[in-house]
A and B are shown apart, each in its own frame.
Chain A
């Protein structure tokens, strides 16, 4: 979460939450920092060692996955945070604990935000997340198409280059024979004719076709250097974040405020044109529209 260049507002919010519960959360592990996977592992490892060598009965049971509504008050939801590290020492359950922690943080966030009057900000975030997800999925789709185009172009070009190479190999072998005085006059004439055709037609045809494929490869690069795998991971993350946060948010956001249309002129590419009449989907529609307006 910290790695993504999220809004400063959200980061400030996290800081304020961390500052809200200093006495309880800070001594064991700084609560917000627990999101950072690498640091988290180190901290947890150190904690595990401490607990393993100096074992005593667990101070508190693992926190419940879904705190009951009664635990919604900030004070109540902060309390179990102190027991997080202990719960996390159970390595096989670490993933489950991470989920529990995220769930708890969402709850904590929800309560604090509501109390601080930040729900407007969160409302904006909630509407931006689905859009970000669609954009990433769109990029993943484009990169896949580009990869296919490039591979297809290579499949077409390779045989052309092979033909040029083989043709020149055969001809050069016969020219070698000529220089070794192994060809008759008629054979030489035949070789000269074939070489002429090769140079005049066969090579230019294939280089022209190859250039067309190079052009196709170039055109397939109209996306930036993004790997599909990373993007798909981010899409999954966005989906998890969305479903987690949305369920919390929808409790407080009024129905009529759930969607907000952006109406300025800088929207970027249309991600999903289904059911929209305000956008064009291809060049023909652009031309038709301009024509209908007399341009």
Chain B
């Protein structure tokens, strides 16, 4: 398995409860190197600081929403390679299509299970040639 357990995650959500849940789930899956950001704007600052390997983001957030964050990541040369997994309550088909067209690596609707997160992460790792 070529997935580095030390890879650095950025969890972006405006609710601390959800950030904590995602952080704990990642820990259960063996990923302990997790940083948090409470909206897209803060996330971008963190990402520009470098060192991140994976972004897990909510959609509906103040200041900068998840879709804008995704689009900004994809249009920024030194960030565009980052896998971005969206975990959101937005469940309209046009949301999912918009996310996919903007280059989302995966899309999970809330409420979700630990199994779903694990499955989607593995699918992304697989696509990246890490599995």
Binding site for B on A (CB under 8 A): 142, 215, 218-219, 221-224, 265-270, 273, 278-283, 286, 289-290, 293, 295
Contact = CB atoms under 8 A, between A and B. Distances in A.
Contact of B97 (A221, A224, A283, A293): A293
Interface stretch (B30-38, B39-47, B74-82, B105-113): B105-113
Given A266-B59, A269-B110, A290 B96 contact: yes
14 contacts: A215-B24, A218-B20, A221-B21, A224-B17, A265-B59, A265-B67, A268-B89, A270-B89, A278-B93, A280-B91, A280-B92, A280-B96, A289-B96, A289-B97
Interface in B89-119: 89-98, 100, 107-114, 116
B60 interface: yes
Contacts of A265: 59, 67, 90, 92, 94-95, 98
Contact of A279 (B91, B107, B108): B91
Given A218-B20, A219-B114, 18 more contacts: A218-B21, A219-B113, A265-B59, A265-B98, A266-B90, A267-B90, A268-B60, A269-B110, A273-B91, A279-B92, A279-B93, A280-B109, A282-B109, A283-B109, A286-B96, A289-B96, A293-B100, A295-B100
The 10 closest A-B pairs by CB, nearest first: A269-B89, A295-B100, A270-B91, A279-B91, A280-B91, A279-B92, A266-B60, A283-B116, A286-B107, A286-B109
B94 A222 contact: no
Nearest to B60: A266
A279 B79 CA distance: 31
Interface in B57-72: 59-60, 65, 67
Contacts, number: 74
B93 A289 contact: yes
Contacts of A280: 91-93, 96, 109
Interface size class of B (residues with CB under 8 A): 20 to 34
Interface string B7-28: 0000000010110110010001
Most chain A CB within a 10 A radius of its CB, from B59, B60, B67, B93:
B93
Interface of B: 15, 17-18, 20-21, 24, 28, 59-60, 65, 67, 89-98, 100, 107-114, 116
A289 to B, nearest CB: 6
A226 to B, nearest CB: 12
Nearest to A221: B17
B38 to A, nearest CB: 15
A285 B9 CA distance: 26
A263 to B, nearest CB: 9
Contacts of B28: 215
Contacts of B97: 289, 293
Interface centre among A142, A222, A289 (most CB of B within 10 A): A222
Nearest to A268: B89
A218 B21 CA distance: 7
Contacts of B109: 280, 282-283, 286
A200 B18 CA distance: 36
A278 B98 CA distance: 13
A279 B97 CA distance: 11
